[in-house]
Copies of this chain bind each other. A is one copy, B any other.
């Protein structure tokens, strides 16, 4: 198919499952591009239980991989994002997305690609270039120059198979949930957690969400209470925190190991987060809490514990790599009316959202500078920022800041777009560069960057895809887009 498209210079926009929500969904970067839907390339080509990896095609969804592993290799835990059961694993990794477990950095957990180039040739990266290589899925670098990075956040080829590292189920696991009541305390949380991350005691991606982002998982914007006003008034925000029993910042992470090491690490987390609200959750405690909730509910003593557990459970599941559609609800924060029943695709429920996702060092100072920069921009355009900080590696955090709007409210959508552009421009100008971008951000990223970098990238594009048939304009490469 690619050969035919190349012959007639027909641009193709490949999508794995097309659920790139908040970053342009399945939209091609320019008009006239033929959508190549890879969802039927859904084979799980290999599973290695001993070494903890799978080799999958782009159509494999989080839900499908989870079901497969539960059935065929229950001792393996995958990593997943909050994007739900129908989101693809390969597409997320290629855009350098992330999840919640020790394998949360999806680029770092990729090992070996099979790629169809623009002239139809097949390229295998790493040791995959050698027939029968023994270590092609366990050692990512191969021999000679490493090419894999080129196929992330680009449009240089169609990745038709990817090696993905998964965890072996640890002997013991504990989740931990923490919160800070004061908005100013996020910096302190970061300073306390970074040493544990840098010492390797904490190895999962640690997520810390602000209050509004946490509300969004449970409820929608209180339109009536706010008399239709935006952004969310401070008093209502404060009352909602109290009503939902959540902090200004709320975080979670996972501890993986043996009973002994998990216990020791728990105590270090406790020591580090002294003075903050902190709860450990594991399978045993969760089961017990369920029982208690049932009894209290039946007796009419407490009916809130059950619903609280309903909210907790999917988040706890993410720390164990269990995908869930629950987090998708958070995308509907600004939607005015109820979504149609079972609308699992946010696009079907009129949920509009755009993510501006800068990377910052895991320090108090960087977090403060970032918040001071973006909060006034959000406010000026009538939005309250939905923010998560994810400690993605030992030194850096990705701040996913979400602009939420109702797609049917034309004016609100326009404000959101204006706000997004101001955000992206300001972020880049202040050195807070997004880790990933949607269609509307490509131009800014390229303009602010180095002409040498982008001209080299353009030339590599031409090698991989001489007629520029793949997604012209994606990440500003191989054409203008629209």
- A interface list, Cβ under 8 A from B: 50-53, 96, 102, 107-108, 117, 121-125, 127, 129-135, 137-139, 141-154, 156, 165, 167-168, 170-171, 195, 198-201, 203, 256-258, 260-261, 263-265, 267-268, 359-363, 366, 392-396, 428, 430-437, 445-446, 448-450, 452-454, 456-457, 459-460, 463-464, 475-477
Contacts and interface: CB of A to CB of B under 8 A. Distances in A.
A143 B460 contact: no
A98 to B, nearest CB: 11
For the complex of A and B, 3 pairs with smallest distance between CB atoms: A146-B149, A138-B395, A129-B450
Given A123-B453, A130-B433, A146-B152, 20 more contacts: A50-B363, A108-B108, A123-B450, A124-B452, A129-B450, A129-B452, A130-B428, A130-B431, A135-B432, A139-B393, A139-B396, A145-B154, A145-B477, A149-B150, A165-B394, A201-B261, A261-B265, A264-B264, A456-B464, A459-B463
Contact of A153 (B143, B268, B476): B143
Contacts of A449: 129-130, 143-144
Copies in the complex: 2
Contact of A257 (B51, B156, B201, B395): B201
17 contacts: A102-B200, A129-B449, A129-B452, A131-B431, A132-B430, A134-B431, A135-B360, A135-B396, A138-B362, A144-B445, A144-B446, A144-B454, A145-B457, A145-B475, A199-B257, A200-B203, A459-B463
Nearest to A149: B146
B201 A141 contact: no
B201 A123 contact: no
A105 to B, nearest CB: 9
